[in-house]
Amino acid sequence: MSYSRRTTINCENNPESDCAIEASLSILGGKWKLKIYKALRSGKPLRFTEIKTLLEPISDKSLTAQLREMEEDNLLTREVYPVIPPKVEYGLTTLGNSLEGIFIALEQWGKTYIDQR
């Protein structure tokens, strides 16, 4: 998708309710976001490397970037354990869990689309 990320979503010049949709897409539009959601959807927090293994072939750089953005957007929590080597666990927030509806809708429609060919 090409919904660029924004720092502040401005609904001012959006008299209609496009804004809500734009918000959703700007937040979920990253190439790996929904896959990260999927990895964490079970409820169990995962470590950086565990997520990375699940999403392969994602790069370290991309994974950190996407995780940071999702954290900023309050979709997931990041817990740092002060040990060496480092240990960091990521889990879904309440807002993160509320993505389920979108996930299901996209999955269902995708199946419909694929079937129709």
Partner DNA sequence: TCAGCAACTTACCATAAGGTAAGTTATTGT
Partner DNA sequence: ACAATAACTTACCTTATGGTAAGTTGCTGA
Question: Rounded to whole angstroms, how far apart are CA atoms 26 and 5?
Answer: 5
Name the residue with tokens 């080597």: 85
CB of 96 to its own copies, least distance (A): 11
User: Which CB atom, from 64 or from 108, has the smaller least distance to DNA?
Assistant: 64
Question: Rounded to whole angstroms, how far apart are CA atoms 15 and 115?
Answer: 37
Among 57, 94, 101, 112, binds DNA (CB under 7 A): 57
Among 15, 43, 85, 101, binds DNA (CB under 7 A): 85
Q: Which of residues 84-113 bind its own copies (CB under 8 A)?
A: 95, 98-99, 101-113
Question: Rounded to whole angstroms, how far apart are CA atoms 76 and 56?
Answer: 20
> Per-residue string for binding with DNA, 10-29, x by CB under 7 A?
-------------------x
What's the chain's length in residues? 117
